[in-house]
């Protein structure tokens, strides 16, 4: 698949989480060619099409969390969940990122928290707002994984 097929697939998977901003595809397209960012997609082995995606890149100028590289957008299309794809995507992301990586997750999102812990992320704290994100339900978790941490 080419980059434009990947972009269309990413948009479809991302849309499974709700309405996207009008400039979403344009923003992701820019990140796909930005050397500071890594955008990964998961595909089925036996059929074309994106079934998951995630990215990692710098978040700076934060007042309520450390500056650093953050995981974002980790999503597996609903029909393909619970078969190890999210875990592999997150594992590959921390490898391509190298070094320390942060992530923020809604405290209610058991699936994502489990996944992060399995990939060696440790909890740094909980708050109603991290990195400018206000969490549904009122609590989010800030996580960090250091290079060489438990995999």
Ligand X SMILES: CC(C)(COP(=O)(O)OP(=O)(O)OC[C@H]1O[C@@H](n2cnc3c(N)ncnc32)[C@H](O)[C@@H]1OP(=O)(O)O)[C@@H](O)C(=O)NCCC(=O)NCCS
Residues that bind ligand X (CB under 6 A): 17, 74-76, 81-87, 105, 109-112, 114-115
Minimum distance between the CB of residue 11 and ligand X, rounded to whole angstroms?
Answer: 15
Q: What is each CA distance from 125 to 54, 66, 105, in whole angstroms?
A: 23, 12, 11
Minimum distance between the CB of residue 147 and ligand X, rounded to whole angstroms?
Answer: 21
55, burial (CB in 10 Å: exposed 0-12, middle 13-18, buried 19+): buried
Tell me phi and psi for residue 3, to 5 degrees. -65, -35
Nearer to ligand X among residue 76 and residue 93 (C-beta): 76
Distance CA 52, CA 41 (A): 6
Minimum distance between the CB of residue 85 and ligand X, rounded to whole angstroms?
Answer: 4
Minimum distance between the CB of residue 140 and ligand X, rounded to whole angstroms?
Answer: 9
CB 52 within 8 A of CB 80: yes
Four-residue CA torsion sign, 106, 107, 109, 112: positive
Minimum distance between the CB of residue 31 and ligand X, rounded to whole angstroms?
Answer: 17
Nearer to ligand X among residue 2 and residue 125 (C-beta): 125
């Amino acid at each position: 698949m080419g980059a434009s097929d990947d972009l269309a697939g990413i948009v479809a998977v991302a849309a499974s989480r709700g309405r996207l901003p009008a400039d979403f595809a344009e923003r992701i397209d820019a990140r796909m060619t930005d050397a500071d960012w890594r955008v990964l997609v998961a595909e089925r082995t036996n059929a074309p099409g994106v079934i998951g995606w995630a990215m990692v890149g710098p978040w700076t100028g934060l007042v309520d969390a450390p500056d650093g590289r953050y995981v974002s957008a980790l999503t597996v299309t609903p029909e393909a969940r619970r078969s190890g794809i999210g875990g592999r995507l997150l594992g590959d992301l921390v490898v391509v990122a190298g070094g320390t990586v942060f992530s923020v997750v809604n405290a209610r999102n058991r699936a994502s928290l489990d996944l992060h812990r399995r990939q060696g992320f440790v909890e740094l704290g909980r708050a109603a707002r991290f990195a400018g994100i206000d969490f549904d339900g009122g609590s989010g978790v800030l996580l960090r994984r250091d290079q060489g941490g438990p995999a």
